């Protein structure tokens, strides 16, 4: 299990841009990401396999398109429950707080593709222990 991509955006309602490294801040989220803050959805996750599946039928859709912060490879998020903790790299520790989300309207990806997987497959968490993370870092699922 590993980090396939990291993406952040400096302002709400703007496309997330891919980065190779980022810093997770405890009880905040990804440094320089507009969705970070003192709430339960500090960091968002989506399976790289899901993003790639959509991209096969809609070329041009790739990492960051669904506003996910971290795309993961090798994790079946459908089997993960709130309360589960995961370690990213050597230091960062995240607690999963929410599976899926309610959409408050049709986002740009929905308009372009006719569907958005984030409400069904997105996973959210809060940062318990911060640290630098990078594309390719290992992810270890820990007990809840």
31 Cβ contact list (under 8 Å, min separation 6): 22, 23, 24, 25
Residue 93 φ/ψ, nearest 5 degrees: -130, 125
Q: Is the pLDDT of residue 5 over 70?
A: yes
Q: What is the pLDDT of residue 144?
A: 57
Of 136, 134, 109, the residue nearest 120 (C-alpha):
109
Domains of the chain: 2-142 (2.40.33.20)
Weakest-pLDDT range from 54-58, 88-92, 114-118: 114-118
Q: What is the rounded CA–CA span in Å between residue 116 and residue 114?
A: 7
Mean pLDDT of the chain: 89
Q: What is the pLDDT of residue 116?
A: 63
Weakest-pLDDT range from 29-33, 91-95, 96-100: 96-100
Q: Is the pLDDT of residue 85 over 90?
A: yes
Helix (H/G/I), strand (E/B), else coil: 90: coil
What's the whole-number mean pLDDT along residues 109-123?
A: 70
Please, what is the Cα angle at 26 between 123 and 15, to 5 degrees? 50
Q: What is the pLDDT of residue 15?
A: 73
pTM more than 0.85 = yes
Q: What is the pLDDT of residue 60?
A: 82
Q: Are 125 and 95 in contact (CB under 8 A)?
A: yes
């Amino acid at each position: 299990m590993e980090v396939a991509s990291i993406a952040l955006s400096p302002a709400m309602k703007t496309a997330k841009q891919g980065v190779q490294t980022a810093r997770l801040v405890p009880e905040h989220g990804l440094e320089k990401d507009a969705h970070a803050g003192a709430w339960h959805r500090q960091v968002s996750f989506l399976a790289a396999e899901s993003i790639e599946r959509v991209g096969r039928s809609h070329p041009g859709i790739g990492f960051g398109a669904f506003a996910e912060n971290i795309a993961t490879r090798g994790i079946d998020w459908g089997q993960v429950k709130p309360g589960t903790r995961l370690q990213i790299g050597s230091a960062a520790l995240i607690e999963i707080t929410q599976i899926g989300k309610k959409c408050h309207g049709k986002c740009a990806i929905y308009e372009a593709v006719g569907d958005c997987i984030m409400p069904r497959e997105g996973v959210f968490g809060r940062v318990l222990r911060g640290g630098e993370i990078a594309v390719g870092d290992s992810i270890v699922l820990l007990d809840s």
